[in-house]
Amino acid sequence: MEYIIGGIVIFLILLLSCIRIVPQAKEYVLEFLGKYKTTWSAGIHFKIPLLEQISSKVTLKEQVLDSPPQPVITKDNVTMQIDTVVFFRIFDAKMYTYGVVNPVNALSNLTATTLRNIIGELDLDATLTSRDTINGKLTSILDDATDQWGIKITRVELKNIIPPSAIQSAMEKQMKAERDRRETLLQAEGHKDAAITRAEGDKQAMILAAEGERDARIARAEGEARAIYLAKKAEADGLRALMEAGIDGTVLELKKYEALANVANGRAAKLIIPSDVVDTVKKNVIFSETSGLGSQTVAATDPAPAKRVDACCDPDAKEPWER
């Protein structure tokens, strides 16, 4: 009885050992007598004891391969250190299991050699400025090469590019010189813009001043023209009034003498006016009332002061009692 129970327990243990549950995002490669039989996907499976065995367990999730820095030489013979990050996933568990020994190590070495080949075709400046181009070439080459291994390369990125210290120092000096040049250009452009702005301001000020002076001269000229016009108009109105009053040539002659009197406005000037002209003006009542002529006479010059005679010095002077 004990043997029967022991046999049942052993059978149950063997039965349970033959039941396998494959988790999600994984695949198991099953072999029968050392030969590939099938690939188990996620779920519960049963294998024949002692005859079948699981060769490998493969993860289908995307994986990351972080390669250490690799020394590479550029086209212009500059040695630098570059490390890469490769993102990949397994799409065929059978090819991944039987395609290559240690697929991850093979992918790392393939990445390093491919990177050296690509960088060897570029110079230093192109290497530093063409990361996207290098990443694209690496992804395409590695993806084609790893298809037979059941590996799909999804993305490759250059993690770090470390040039030699001498190159770094030269690059820093070049960068500083470039920044100094840009600063000088910006300052020169600023000075130029300021000078242009000041010149335009001075130009506008001069234009406005000239326009103001022009407007002032025009206004003064218009005022003087208006004044001359009004004066001439008043003179014409006066002459018209004289003509309407029936003034003859004698009165006009008197007007000439009045003009001469105004011109010779001084105490030593003398004017001689014929009496017949004055009498004629006085007879004309209308002219006398309008212009006031005939009631004015020319002011005579003041008589010369009498010369004082000093009695003590004049021999012809008489004594007081002889006067």
Number of folded domains in the chain? 4
Q: Answer yes or no: do 110 and 192 share one domain.
A: no
Examine residue 126 and state whether it is found in any structural domain, yes or no.
yes
Q: Answer yes or no: do 27 and 80 share one domain.
A: no
Examine residue 276 and state whether it is found in any structural domain, yes or no.
yes
Residue 262: predicted pLDDT: 66
| Per-residue pLDDT tens digits of the chain, which is 323 residues long | 677 777 777 767 777 778 888 899 899 999 888 898 999 888 888 888 888 888 889 999 999 998 888 889 888 888 889 989 999 999 999 999 998 889 999 999 999 999 999 998 888 888 888 888 999 999 999 999 999 999 999 999 998 888 888 887 887 888 888 888 888 999 999 899 999 999 999 999 999 999 999 999 999 999 988 899 888 888 888 777 767 776 666 666 666 666 666 665 655 555 555 555 555 545 554 444 444 444 444 444 444 444 444 444 444 544 444 44
Torsion over CA: 161, 163, 165, 170 (sign) = negative
| N-term to C-term CA, the chain | 209
Examine residue 92 and state whether it is found in any structural domain, yes or no.
yes
Domain end, chosen from 59, 86, 107, is at: 59
Helical (H) or strand (E) element with 13 = helix 2-17
225 phi, psi to nearest 5 deg:
-65, -40
User: Across the chain, where does the E strand assignment appear?
Assistant: 19-22, 26-32, 35-40, 43-46, 52-59, 63-66, 70-73, 79-90, 151-162
Q: Answer yes or no: do 202 and 252 share one domain.
A: no
Q: Quick check: helix, strand or coil at residue 84?
A: strand
Residue 279: predicted pLDDT: 58
Examine residue 320 and state whether it is found in any structural domain, yes or no.
no
Examine residue 308 and state whether it is found in any structural domain, yes or no.
no
Q: Answer yes or no: do 139 and 187 share one domain.
A: no
Examine residue 311 and state whether it is found in any structural domain, yes or no.
no
Nearest to 53 by CA among 37, 69, 75: 37
Q: Answer yes or no: do 137 and 204 share one domain.
A: no
Domain end, chosen from 27, 59, 91, is at: 59
What domain range is 141 assigned to?
A: 63-163
Residue 272: predicted pLDDT: 59
The tokens describing 248, both together, are 């003859």
Report the CATH number at residue 128.
3.30.479.30
Examine residue 124 and state whether it is found in any structural domain, yes or no.
yes
Examine residue 6 and state whether it is found in any structural domain, yes or no.
yes
Q: Answer yes or no: do 128 and 195 share one domain.
A: no
Domain end, chosen from 117, 140, 163, is at: 163
